[in-house]
Amino acid sequence: MIKPEKPSNEALRLDALYRYRILDTDKEKSFEDLVTIAKAVCGTSMAAVTLIDAERQWFKSIQGTEAAELPRAESMCGHAILQPQQVMVIEDARVDERFHDNPIVTGAPHVRFYAGAPLISNEGYPLGTLCVFDPQPHQLDTDQTEALAALSRQVMLVMELRRFAQDIQSHMLEREDYERLLNEYHDLLLAQNADLAEQSRTDVLTGLPNRRAMSVALEASLLDADGQPRQTAVALVDIDHFKQINDLHGHATGDRVLAELGVLLRAHFSGRGMAARYGGEEFVVLMPDTDLRTAELQCDFLRMAVAELPLGFPVTISIGVAAHKAGDNVDQTVSRADAALYQAKRSGRDRVEVA
């Protein structure tokens, strides 16, 4: 194990960290939310906001494993802050000479994959990281890496807002200055909340709404303004043999297929429904005020359009369609669409099946 060196400006870095008065404080929802988003965007089982103290790595928020702190000598984040302008990615720690015999690699939580985006203070000092990690080797594509870096900037914004609020409470200010600071704090908080809301509703790769946003929209679409049931259809769309596309052409090409399908879905259902990425190579389409036969025809048009995509190799999709029934909940409707999708795949793929 190679212990991380300390930055040349270590004393100034620690002074900057201590000014935030955040070490050894309780969990806070703003940090928990950002860790949840980072873990989902990067597809890992664990993620954390870490701060590098003089001799330890302390976790402000951690998910997927239980820990409060680690010795700095065992810290991967201690290495990440040495290159503060880039995201440090370790695809397999067991073949990295710095970490192959690290206790967190050889023992619990058995880290193999790690990516850490440094948390940079306003003065330019690296204070810690927003990191994601997993017990399996892993890769991040460009969009995921950029998203992790963007989320690390959001962590710093939350820390600045937190320090700002503490400063307001600890100083007696003239009324005019006090109101000005409150207004600036309010504006920063609104900007952060808007950015977080958008990130938590949107799939990074395709630009479509994600599963969470679709669930909210589906719930809302079942009743009209008067509270009466609406005729609503739901379709589940799956790219046929997507694993083979990744294996034969590479993950970058697989991502391009997902992105192109996202563009096609957005165009196909714009103004008369909503499409979202449901997970992996699966998408879900919401078609309000649409009977089952019309929904089936629309999905068949989509299937034919996908077959014509100029990707350089054939791509097909299978689709399962279900109409929402009075008395059913959202999960039951999606489950019936999923059963129809399974039937489409079992019947030879590249087809639409109706529940």
List, for residues 47-70, the tens digit of each pLDDT value.
999 999 999 999 999 999 989 999
Dist CA 112 CA 104 (whole Å): 9
Domain ranges of the chain: 10-199, 211-354
Mean pLDDT of 293-299: 91
CA–CA dist 115, 130 (Å, integer)? 8
pLDDT at position 197: 46
306: which residues sit within 8 A by CB, 6+ positions away? Answer: 261, 264, 315, 316, 317
- Selected residue with higher pLDDT from 130 and 258: 130
pLDDT of residue 192: 58
> Out of 195-199, 293-297, 312-316, which region has the weakest mean confidence (pLDDT)?
195-199
pLDDT band with cut points at 50, 70 and 90 for residue 92: very high
Tokens read off for 306: 């996908």
Is 281 considered catalytic here? yes
Average pLDDT, stretch 66-87?
Answer: 94
Whether the Cβ atoms of residue 129 and residue 87 lie closer than 8 Å to each other: no
Q: When comparing pLDDT for 320 and 164, which is higher?
A: 320
User: Could you say which DSSP state residue 5 is in?
Assistant: P
Q: Please state, in angstroms and rounded to a whole number, the distance separating the CA atoms of residues 217 and 58.
A: 39
Please give the biggest Cα pair distance in the chain: 74
pLDDT at residue 172 in the model: 54
pLDDT at 304 over 70: yes
Whether residue 195 is predicted with pLDDT greater than 60 in this model: the reply is no
| pLDDT score of 188 | 63
Catalytic residue among 281, 282, 296, 353: 281
Mean pLDDT of the chain: 87
Degrees, nearest 5: CA angle 192-196-200: 175
Lowest mean pLDDT segment, chosen from 34-38, 111-115, 324-328: 324-328
Query: What's the confidence (pLDDT) of residue 336?
Result: 92
Question: pLDDT value at position 227?
Answer: 62
Q: What is the CATH superfamily name and number for domain 211-354?
A: Reverse transcriptase/Diguanylate cyclase domain (3.30.70.270)
Query: Residues near 258 by Cβ (< 8 Å), separated by ≥ 6?
Result: 205, 206, 239, 277, 281
Residue 314, pLDDT > 70, answer yes
d(CA 143, CA 151): 12
Partners of residue 63 on adjacent β-strands: 47
- The pLDDT of residue 36 is 95
Per-residue pLDDT band for 121 (boundaries 50, 70, 90) equals: very high
Q: Average pLDDT, stretch 221-238?
A: 76
Confidence tier at 241 by pLDDT (50, 70, 90):
very high
Burial class (CB in 10 A: 0-12, 13-18, 19+), 234: buried
Kindly state the tokens that stand for 174: 């003239």
Question: What percentage of the chain has pLDDT greater than the value 90?
Answer: 59
For residues 287 and 320, is the Cβ–Cβ distance under 8 A? no
Please tell me the least confidently modeled range out of 99-103, 211-215, 251-255: 211-215
Q: Give CATH for domain 10-199.
A: 3.30.450.40
pTM beyond 0.85: no
Please determine, for residue 155, whether its predicted confidence score (pLDDT) is greater than 70.
yes
Q: What is the Cα–Cα distance from 6 to 248, expressed in whole angstroms?
A: 43
Name residues whose C-beta falls within 8 Å of residue 318's C-beta, 6 or more positions apart in sequence: 237, 238, 240, 341, 344, 345, 349, 350, 351, 352, 353
